[in-house]
Structure 1
Amino acid sequence: MRIGELSRRTGVAVHLLRYYGEQGLLHPQRRPSGYREYVEEDVAIVRRIRSLLAAGLNTATITTVLPCLRDTGDRLVPTCSDLLADLHQERDRIAQAISDLQASMDALNDVIAAAPADVTRRAVASLGG
């Protein structure tokens, strides 16, 4: 199938599919005309990529993780023993990012709460509330 068909079947934009190829996540064959030719398995691979991106992994990490995952239909299962350590590191990185964002939100809430009543009223009025 050509890239447009893969895009339609996965809901992923053509430019992203090309990017996945540049990152080594997809390996389409090239026709003599230069067009990329994808196989049925690429549909499942794109879905795995999207799942891993949604889980917070970047494409560089996905490149190393993807070959070590099997799709059972309802979840991705690691198949390489050394993969779990990498996934634990990624989970720790994401947890730290969440913690940092929560601290930033708490600080912002403190600043907002310290606003005088007249400033708060004007701000609410300007928002249409």
Structure 2
Amino acid sequence: MLTKKSLVMKLFCSFVMLIAFVITSCAQEQKKPVPKEQTKPKAAKTIQVPVDGMVCSACQSNVKKIVKSLDGIKDVKVSLEKRNAIITYFPNLIKPEQIQKAINDKGYTAGKPQAIKQ
């Protein structure tokens, strides 16, 4: 049989362990500050990327979704008829080669991006 003193000690230890568990489980990870150059987008640029492998409107939508999902993309227009994508992006956040690679990685063939003057 437990004595009153040992019962109080067990309750106290249980309470301390509960508090420790709550504190450690609620601790938040510190977020790293984003460099200033990435917080302010530079002027957007527009490129045209030839895309082979699109055969239907679903392919067209898929290419648009692929590009739009990338960070640093402002706008995407994909033409099935012209077999290309017109992409407006922020050059300090993403490079044209990264866009080209993302399209290629999904099974389409993206040609060399060409700058379009605005």
TM tier relative to shorter chain: under 0.3
TM-score normalized by the length of structure 2: 0.23
> Relative contact order: is structure 1 or structure 2 higher (C-alpha 8 Å, sep ≥ 6)?
2
Bigger-Rg structure (1/2) = 2
Name the structure where helix makes up a greater proportion of residues. Answer: 1
